[in-house]
Amino acid sequence: MGPSPTWVLHVDLDQFVAAVEVLRHPELAGKPVVVGGRGDPTERGVVSTASYEARAFGVHSGLPLRVAARKLPDAVFLAVDAPAYEAASEQVMAALRSLGVVVEVLGWDEAFLGVTTDEPEAVALRAQEVVLRETQLHCSVGIGDNKVRAKIATDLGKPAGVFRLTAENWFEVLGHRPTRELWGVGSKVSGRLTALGITTVRELADADPAVLVAEFGPKMGLWYHGLGQGLGPATVDDTPWVPRGHSRETTFQQNLTTQHEVREALRTLTHDVLEDVAQDGRPVVRVALKVRYAPFVTRSMARKLQEPTNEPATVIEAVLALADSLEDREIRLLGVRAEMSMPDDPTERTPVRGRI
C-alpha cells in the first residue's frame, strides 16, 4: 500500500442567501424568495439570489429586480442583509474546519478543502453532514484532482450531491460541453473562442497554443489552453487572505446632475472607504474612481499617490482631483476605491480569477 492520494474538495452551499432567509423566516419555506437590493422591486437593483422555486420562473442572480417582479409578481422580495450572511458563513466555515482538513475560504458560501484520503466521497459526505447539523444548510461537494476540476464538479452534483471529476473522466464528462462552462471563461472569452472556431472544451484542449496566445496574450492564452484540459492549481492554502484594496460604489435611484451632488456623493463614498482603510491599517498607495453615465457607459480613472498615506484628507483630496476630469453628464453610478501597499511578496499567483 502506497501513501493515500491528495484531493481537492470544493464545497458550495445551495442557494445560500435564500436558504439563510428561509431559516429565519420558516413561513417562506417552499415559496419563491428573491433577495436583492433594498428588497423593493420597483427600485434600481438586481437579484442577489433566488430560491429554487423562483428560479423555476426564470428569476436568477443578476436579473434586474423590476424584471423579476414582472416575471414573478407574487414572489417574496427581501433586502440583502450582508451581516446575516457573514454570520452564517462563519458557522459554515467553522463546521468545515472541525473536520480537521485544510480549509481555503473562497467567499460567503464556498470553500476548497485539502484532503489526503483513499475515500474522498466519504469525506464529502461528512462535510455535508457536519454543515447540515451545525447550520441546517445544504451543500454540494465537488471532488477533483485540482481546483479547476473540483470547482466544476460541484455544479454537476447540485443540489445537495457529490460529484468526482478527475483527469480520468474529464473529457468524457466535459469534452462536448461549451467552453462557457469552464471556470473563468465568460461570455466575452467564449465568444472570441467561437470566432476562432473553438466551441467545445475538447476543441479548446486540442487548439494550437500559439493561436490562443496570439488572441489572448502569453499568460491567458496558455491558461485557457490548460483549462480545456482541466488543468489548474492543486494546492489548498488556508493562509488568511490579504485584501488588495477597499472600495464602495453606489447606483443612484435618480441620476446625479450637478457638480455639487457629485462632490457630495464622492465625499460620502470616500468617507465609507476610509473606515475600511482605518481598520486595515496599511497606507493607501493609489485611488481609483469609477463612473457610469448610462447603462453600458462606464469610465474609470486612477492615480498613484505621490507617497503612501494614512491621512484621510490626502485621500479625499486625491479623489476629488480625479473627479475634476469627469464629463459633464448625468451620472448613474459612482465608485471609489483605495488600494493598499502590498507587502513585497514574490509568491506566484495563479491566473485563476478570484480569491485563489
The C-alpha atoms of residue 187 and residue 174 are separated, in whole angstroms, by: 18
Phi first, then psi, for residue 215 (nearest 5°) are -85, -40
The C-alpha atoms of residue 277 and residue 257 are separated, in whole angstroms, by: 29
Q: Position 302: which residue type? A: A
Q: Which window, 25-33, 131-139, 198-206, 216-224, contacts DNA (CB under 7 A)?
A: 216-224
Residue by residue, DSSP assigns 137-155 as --EEEEEESSHHHHHHHHH
Site string for DNA, 309-338 (x = CB under 7 A): -----------------------xx-x-x-
> Looking at beta carbons only, is 117 or 211 nearer to DNA?
211
218 part of the interface to DNA, by CB under 7 A = yes
300 part of the interface to DNA, by CB under 7 A = yes
Q: Position 207: which residue type? A: A
User: Residue 178 gets which letter from DSSP?
Assistant: B
175 part of the interface to DNA, by CB under 7 A = no
Residues 136-165 within binding reach of DNA (CB under 7 A): 151
296 part of the interface to DNA, by CB under 7 A = yes
Assess whether 110 carries a catalytic annotation: yes
Which residues, at least 6 apart from 216, have a Cβ–Cβ distance to it below 8 Å?
Answer: 189, 192, 224
Residues 233-272 within binding reach of DNA (CB under 7 A): 243-251
The C-alpha atoms of residue 54 and residue 307 are separated, in whole angstroms, by: 50
CB of 175 to DNA, least distance (A): 18
283 part of the interface to DNA, by CB under 7 A = no
Q: Which window, 66-74, 91-99, 139-147, 202-210, contacts DNA (CB under 7 A)?
A: 66-74
The C-alpha atoms of residue 342 and residue 37 are separated, in whole angstroms, by: 32
Which residues, at least 6 apart from 170, have a Cβ–Cβ distance to it below 8 Å?
Answer: 149, 229, 230
Instruction: By CB under 7 A, name the binding residues for DNA.
Output: 37, 44-46, 48, 61-62, 64, 66-67, 70, 80, 106-110, 151, 182-190, 216-221, 243-251, 276, 286, 295-296, 298-304, 332-333, 335, 337, 349, 351, 353-355
Active site residues: 110
